Structure 1
Amino acid sequence: MTLATLDDYGVLTEPATLTITRLLPGPLERCWTYLTKAELRRQWLAGGEMELRKGASFELIWRNDELSDPPGRRPEGFPEEHRLTCEITELEPPHLLGFTWGNTGGVSIRLEPRGDEVLLTLVHKRLPDRGTMLNVSAGWHMHLDLLVARARGDKPAPFWEGWARLKADYDRRLPA
């Protein structure tokens, strides 16, 4: 993949696998801390302490209303807090972090230096159905937009408004 082909939207690289990329300001080690340190990760995704050891369990704790100010209106059916127990399946600091994700095939996040920036490639495998695929695609897209904003020192866009817009976009972009 060349930088000229980067698109903000995730794509299906297999029928049930989402791949999404972002360019982050470097250095690589700083980007790694945004993935692995709870206090930084909770600013763009979810909190929860993580022991950096293959096979280690950890809990992701989402409080999406706290990710932006204002957060926007939370869609009906989404709780104020959500928790997911995960297990580290791949670990090559500071380049690769993989972990389980509920009833899916799991997530891997790869970081690669690109000059002064870092290419983040996220792959979420075996999404079980289209509804999950739409929620996950919009979620990762919005969370990664927040990561870019936080890493650059910019104010993030309202989370829930962005998520709702992106879910509608992915509904049009992804095959039925």
Structure 2
Amino acid sequence: MTELAGMHAFGELIEPATLKIERLLPGPVERVWSYLTESDLRRKWLASGTMEMKPGAPFELVWRNDELTDPPGKRPENFPQEHRMQSRVIEVDPLRRLVFSWGERGQVSFTLEPRGGEVLMTVIHRRISDRTNEIMIGAGWHMHLEVLAAALSGGRTEPFWDGWARLRKEYERRLPA
């Protein structure tokens, strides 16, 4: 694994309000795609929500981060047990690229690139509202992708909320003010 795509590589701002984070994941690409697009598999690392793989199709993401790791760690007081967000599919290129809206303002793209028996996943989150959200979103994607890597490899990761809190401090330090 390269440092850039290593399991602990940090996201970076590639332009104002745009975060990019990469992970080299265990393949094959069909398996990674299914963890990205199928609600029952996506809920194991990010959020549930049935998506119709068609541009323009609306869907709802439902986060239950307490269920991602056992134990879940200490959830911050201002975070609910469940969070819901309305989204819309923007682009679908099966096994290669998925783009959807992030609520009303943002957009997230996932690009998958086979690399031998592994898959390079590039996540780009656009139109992040402010630095506070850049830090929270950076830590969130980082931790969610660690949970995905553990799910794909059959491994374990630290408790979700403990990892998120640790990463939030690190993104506070790393992202420019």
TM-score surpassing 0.5? yes
Q: Report the count of equivalent residues.
A: 175
Rounded to whole Å, the distance in 2 between the matches of 1:103 and 1:58 is 12
Q: Show the counterpart of 1:91.
A: 92
Q: Does the 8 Å CA contact 1:103/1:128 hold for their aligned counterparts?
A: no
Identity among equivalent positions (%) equals 56
User: Offset of 1:156 from its aligned partner?
Assistant: 2.8
TM-score (norm 1): 0.96
Q: How does 1:9-88 map to 2 (within 5 A)?
A: 9-88=10-89
User: Offset of 1:104 from its aligned partner?
Assistant: 3.6
User: Offset of 1:6 from its aligned partner?
Assistant: 3.0
Q: Show the counterpart of 1:149.
A: 150
Deviations 1:50-106 (A, max 9, x none): 111111111110000000000001001100000001101111001100000024430
Q: Show the counterpart of 1:123.
A: 124
Q: Does the 8 Å CA contact 2:87/2:104 hold for their aligned counterparts?
A: no
- Paired residue type of 1:128: S
Rounded to whole Å, the distance in 1 between the matches of 2:105 and 2:117 is 34
Task: State the superposition RMSD in angstroms.
Answer: 1.3
Q: Show the counterpart of 1:100.
A: 101
Q: Secondary structure at the match of 2:73?
A: coil
**Unaligned runs of at least 5 residues, structure 2:** none
User: Offset of 1:159 from its aligned partner?
Assistant: 0.2
Q: Does the 8 Å CA contact 2:4/2:22 hold for their aligned counterparts?
A: no
- Paired residue type of 1:65: D
TM-score (norm 2): 0.95
Q: Secondary structure at the match of 2:95?
A: coil
Identify if the C-alpha distance between structure 1 residues 63 and 114 changes in structure 2 by more than 3 Å, giving closer, same or farther. same
Rounded to whole Å, the distance in 2 between the matches of 1:41 and 1:73 is 22
Which is further off, 139-148 or 101-110? 101-110
Rounded to whole Å, the distance in 1 between the matches of 2:95 and 2:15 is 26
- Paired residue type of 1:116: G
Rounded to whole Å, the distance in 2 between the matches of 1:33 and 1:4 is 26
Which is further off, 136-145 or 95-104? 95-104
